[in-house]
Structure 1
Amino acid sequence: MKARFLFQILLWASTVVAVKGQETASDKPLTLHNGTGSDLTAVYVSASDAAWGENQLRNGRLQKGKSVTLLLKLPGTVCTVDVLAESGQNKSFQLWEINVCVVPELEINQEHEKGLGSQPTVEVMISSTPIDDIKENPGTVTLLNRTGFTIEEVYISDEIASWGPDRLGDETMNTDRDRVIDLSGERGCLFFIRALDEDGDVYSLRNQDLCKKNEIIITLDEMGENFLDPPPMMEIETEGSSVEVQNGLSETVSYLFTRVSGKEGFWGEDLLGEEGSLASGDSKIVSVSELTTTTCVFDLKATNLEGNRVWMMRDIDLCTQKKVEFTDEMLDNSEAQETEGVDSEGEVANKVEIENRLRQTIFYLHVRQHDNEDGDWGGDRLQEDNALSPRERVEIVVPELYNRVCLYDIRGLDLEDREILLIQRVDFCANKTLLLK
């Protein structure tokens, strides 16, 4: 009798512990109200450091003005989530860092469209609208990573000009791993496939018949062909905008700037480029983008690496004078004085470290002076780095800092040249490290 009584006590205690453990791991409810003015076709919810996962709308639609309660499978200590919703009108709505333990009810409205809420975000395009009357489509395809490297992005499209979203989303595919991609919403059979690994190397496959092949193996044999990249911005040196610059100084010119005469205080981008310089006795043909048939007279400015020695030419008609030469007699002490004190570390003064905190790879990064809002963005600052993946850092050169120009605008583009980031009035004189988020 005593043994049976003790057994019942132990059984009751174990039941309490089990129930208590279940409570610790229980789902967290989140009630979403659709205040967007249109029906939602997809809702994704994830912890802030996790992938989006599956569409939480099991029936594929949340009507405008209606609500739905989701049971989020989160660890007991995790409360903060991100929310992404999509409408049938190809609009996305984003909310970041929502504490569902404190805020169990949430309204999605037009203020959250394309990340216009509390934080700047990345536009995420995920097609979830069903396509009717499809006569032929590939269904699902299995990708096998046999490259020996982690694949971070995969694009599959029937045309190179429009790649669409990264098929891996926020996830990656380790080497010797497989991933099933749902292409049931696509039309046709022939597709191009592009993959990007952890080192930024590209793997390309042409004209894959995915109606007949349901398995694609990505190996090192597919690496290196960049035919899928958008055509690079052509730097054509037209006769009208080209000027030959001769270095007649006794030292190397590291930076070369021009400005329209009379436009005091504003200098354009370095015409020698991030890695360029002009040794003593050498010459180089450069392109002056503002040089037209109606804008001819310019000032030219050359500096050494430290920016403490400056040579000036003023009021030069570059429409008629297609070759100019800097000489030692052109040293301008007043201009040299302006550049002193920018940074005593010389070449470190014009370098800025940038870290990508977005959930999307930046393929092209542009920087321009803030007071030149209508001007050209110039070339891609990533250059040989090709792309800037999430959480990756890169050091770029901003030679304009030697002119004591501090405020800049920054723009990031995706693979299809769509703008995914725009930050204005960044002070590079005060901040040499920038987080893009």
Structure 2
Amino acid sequence: MRILFTTFPWHSHHFPMVPLESAALAADHEVRVASAPGLMPIVTASGLPGVSVGRDVDLASLSNDRSRAAWHVQSRWPDDWPVRPGLLNDEQFALIENLGRMQAVMASAMLDDLLDLARYWRPDLVVHDAVTLAGPVVAAALGVPNVSHLWGTPGLQRIEMRRMGSEPLPEYAELYERVGAAVRTEPTAWIDPSAPGIRYPAGPTCHQMRYIPYNGPGLLPDWLLRERTGSRVCVTWGATSMALRGGTVVELVRQCVEAAAEVADEVVVAVTEQTARALEAAPLPDRARVAVGLPLHLLMPSCDLVVHHGGAGTSMTAAAWGVRQLLITTRPEPTVNGTRLAASGAARHLMTEEVPAAQEGVDLLRAEMDRLLSDPAHGTAAQKLADGMRTQPTPADLVAELTNLAR
């Protein structure tokens, strides 16, 4: 069988698909992974056959456009809004729909080349990241099934639909008009790798899959090959947050590191080179070790606690290893991860706006970390979450199900 995988060019949306793509290759299916040129080095470094399509679009500029910039600095939205959209107000719906319009722009930049590839290669199935709108359009043009691959945050993603309902946004419908195909408002199937302990109920077309942590290639440093001598806390802030919000996150990261150094024997600051350079403006505590570009799936098994921004990759990697978490979030989607993980008992959650500046914020963060490390109930809940994830079908199991869809 030929399977065409596609995602818009952002590594945090590619990484969750890598285990399924690799499983399909291992099952002797033909695989192509298509995205814009900027993602190709990351795709090929994952050991997958990549195909460059379309052109790169400045995602940071699109995300920080006046109509979307507010998405990154939201207060707490109503709990369970992904499955109860009626709780949202008009302003919140407008933000979600503007994200859908942004993804339509990303899809438009990929669409022509992706369709040319698909018409030449003739895949039996298209598997696409859940917000990569070129995927279902191309599948419709070819008349083959399309599978929407989620990335670990609970809830189905419907940013291309008006008010998260059944009517497509005009910009989404226009993509189908361009290829002469009928609009698809539902995929043939969904793949949901979120943890059983936090996911929302979904219908029969939603296939559960075990989240297999993959955060990119990397080398194990020497210090990870030795037994640790005390407690270890990881502080990490995603590349997405730094790329989209820049220096606004650096002070918060520094507060987290200072607080962690007061409760742990060792603090590993796992960040991008950009964040590491920004942190050099002032000394970090002696107990802090900066690790640039270290994949979290290599680090997480050795940690007692991870403090982070709430991204799905970090949240699910920590959950898979049974690591307690402190999530500090500002965007609505990571906030869903924070509220659901906190409700499971495996984590504690704060909104960024709840963390005061300077030492007062450090004191609050230290108290939160101390609760997580000292209360065994959090460790028990984190392990229960990990145990539940291990009961889920593996990517290899899902490949067999995908084969049936294409028949």
TM-score by length of 2: 0.25
Q: Which has a greater percent of helix?
A: 2
TM-score by length of 1: 0.23
Which of 1 and 2 has higher RCO (CA within 8 Å, sep 6+)?
2
Higher radius of gyration, 1 or 2: 1
Q: Which has a greater percent of strand?
A: 1
